[in-house]
Amino acid sequence: MKQMKVDAIKNGTVIDHISAGKGMQVAEIINISGENEVFIGVNLQSKKIGKKDIIKIENRELTSEQVNTVALIAPQATLVIIKNYEVAKKVSLKLQENIENIVVCPNPKCITNVDNIPTKFKLVGIEPTKIRCVYCERKYNVDEISIRI
- List residues near another protein by CB under 8 A: 107, 109-112, 114-115, 117, 133-139
Closest CA to 70 of 113, 32, 34: 32
CA atoms of 67 and 32, how far apart (whole Å): 14
Residue 123: CB minimum distance to another protein, A? 15
Q: 86 or 115: whose CB is closer to another protein?
A: 115
Q: 52 or 120: whose CB is closer to another protein?
A: 120
* C-alpha separations of 106 from 21, 110, 126, 128, 137 in Å: 21, 8, 19, 18, 11
Q: 7 or 137: whose CB is closer to another protein?
A: 137
Q: 59 or 107: whose CB is closer to another protein?
A: 107
Residue 115: CB minimum distance to another protein, A? 5
Contact (CB, 8 A) for 90 and 107: no
Contact (CB, 8 A) for 96 and 71: yes
Contact (CB, 8 A) for 40 and 101: no
Residue 119: CB minimum distance to another protein, A? 10
Residue 130: CB minimum distance to another protein, A? 9
Q: How many other CB atoms are there within 10 angstroms of residue 69's CB atom?
A: 24
